[in-house]
Amino acid sequence: MAITKVGNLRDRLDTIDSRVMKRAYDGFYKSRLAILVGEWEKGEAIASHFRGGKMRSWNQISKETGRRDVSLKKWHDLYEEYPNKEDYLEITEKKAKEWTQKALSEKDTKGVIAMLHTGDQESYTPEQYIESAREVMGSIDVDPASNEFANETVKAKTYYTVEDDGLTKEWNGNVFLNPPYEFPLIKNFVDKLLEEYRAGRTKRAILLTNNNTDTQWFHDAGRVSGIICFTRGRINFYKKDGSVSQPTNGQAFFYFGDEPEKFKASFRQYGWVGTVIKGVKGLIMKNA
């Protein structure tokens, strides 16, 4: 079976929808956030203007600035309520996400938005898949795209957060990687895994991605891995608040290592496992 044929038309269309909506979400969110931050900055400017100067009426300032007195007072009061910008940003980011999700949900895109992490990349792999990965590799030494909360389940000896930037580190030993699915981050993490594996620093690895079989990074990973499990159904990743994501397409596990039979035995419970034949014109797969 040619790897480019995996998945049906619905999956392909869902993938396109998710990509388009991700761009739309980012556009809505960043625009709304910029507007809200701008209001605070204008309030700070107004407050600074008052300091050490003679207090004048809002009507006077309105005539001088060409802004409505109601707006000027609103911005000033906002700054007075939140003089610390960091405190304001914490509230504002939440408001921007809520406004964005509401705006896009009104266009019958609620299912897609659920898949888009409500504006972040933080979704976590259910424990059963982590335990299968540990069973196959014997241990999980490095999780390059993680955080403290996720590592309560993964229990990697070393994990890297967004702040650590795992792309700048060496990945030594056995690696479990569920990268951010946003492009180009997903490609960057896949490329880094292949680099570490070829260099011999990564001994074994299990990579979990969406099943975007039309992408170059998917083909690159398949060519080096040699064995892939395509999930039956879609994985519902969980979040800190106990909710679960609703991805619009299925997932794939890639195994890198010297014991593919162990991977097959453990992961065939989750879907179809196939080995990759490196053909002249691309990748061909057959039953493992």
Total domains, the chain = 2
> Are 91 and 164 within one domain?
no
Query: Does 107 map to a domain?
Result: yes
| Long-range contacts at 99-105 (CB < 8 A, ≥ 24 apart) | 99/28, 99/32, 100/25, 100/28, 100/29, 100/32, 103/28, 104/21, 104/24, 104/25, 104/28
Q: What is the pLDDT of residue 109?
A: 42
Alpha carbons 266 and 97: distance in angstroms, whole number: 39
pLDDT band at 137 (very low <50, low <70, confident <90, very high): very high
Q: What is the pLDDT of residue 238?
A: 85
Q: Is the pLDDT higher at 178 or at 284?
A: 178
Q: What is the pLDDT of residue 30?
A: 80
Domain at 206, CATH number = 3.40.50
pLDDT band at 105 (very low <50, low <70, confident <90, very high): low
Is residue 250 within 8 A of residue 231, CB to CB? The reply is yes
For residue 185, pLDDT beyond 90 = no
Q: What is the pLDDT of residue 262?
A: 97
> Are 59 and 202 within one domain?
no
> Are 250 and 165 within one domain?
yes
pLDDT digits (tens, 9 = 90+) for 260-274: 999 999 999 999 999
For residue 225, pLDDT beyond 70 = yes
Q: What is the pLDDT of residue 5?
A: 45
Residues 6+ apart with CB under 8 A from 285: 1, 2, 3, 6, 228, 274, 275, 276, 277
Alpha carbons 269 and 14: distance in angstroms, whole number: 25
Q: Is the pLDDT higher at 245 or at 48?
A: 48
For residue 63, pLDDT beyond 60 = yes
Average pLDDT of the segment spanning 149-164: 93
Q: What is the pLDDT of residue 58?
A: 82
> Are 102 and 163 within one domain?
no
pLDDT band at 115 (very low <50, low <70, confident <90, very high): very low
pLDDT band at 129 (very low <50, low <70, confident <90, very high): very high
Most confident of 18-27, 49-58, 85-94, 112-121: 85-94
Query: Does 248 map to a domain?
Result: yes
Residues 6+ apart with CB under 8 A from 143: 150, 151, 154, 156, 158, 159, 160, 175, 176, 177
Q: Which one of 116, 135, 151 terminates a domain?
A: 116
Residues 6+ apart with CB under 8 A from 133: 140, 176, 206
Percent of the chain with pLDDT over 90: 40
Q: Decide: residue 103, CB within 10 A, 0-12 exposed, 13-18 middle, 19+ buried.
A: middle
Query: Does 122 map to a domain?
Result: no
> Are 68 and 159 within one domain?
no
Cis before 184 (ω within 30): yes
> Are 109 and 132 within one domain?
no
> Are 12 and 54 within one domain?
yes
> Are 99 and 195 within one domain?
no
Q: At residue 55, what are phi and psi to the nearest 5 degrees?
A: -70, 125
For residue 21, pLDDT beyond 80 = no
> Are 139 and 112 within one domain?
no
Query: Does 121 map to a domain?
Result: no
Query: Does 87 map to a domain?
Result: yes
Residue 184 is part of which domain span? 127-287
Average pLDDT of the segment spanning 27-45: 84
Average pLDDT of the segment spanning 243-249: 72
pLDDT band at 138 (very low <50, low <70, confident <90, very high): very high
Alpha carbons 257 and 7: distance in angstroms, whole number: 26
Residue 90, both tokens: 């914490």
Average pLDDT of the segment spanning 179-198: 91
Q: Which one of 85, 116, 147 terminates a domain?
A: 116
> Are 256 and 146 within one domain?
yes
Query: Does 17 map to a domain?
Result: yes
Query: Does 251 map to a domain?
Result: yes
pLDDT band at 218 (very low <50, low <70, confident <90, very high): very high
> Are 173 and 256 within one domain?
yes
Q: What is the pLDDT of residue 244?
A: 74
Helix axes 260-267, 127-137, angle to 10 degrees: 150
Q: Which one of 87, 116, 145 terminates a domain?
A: 116
Mean pLDDT of the chain: 83
> Are 180 and 231 within one domain?
yes
Q: What is the pLDDT of residue 249?
A: 77
Residues 6+ apart with CB under 8 A from 247: 115, 210, 234, 235, 236, 237
Query: Does 265 map to a domain?
Result: yes
Residues 6+ apart with CB under 8 A from 128: none
Is residue 288 within 8 A of residue 1, CB to CB? The reply is no
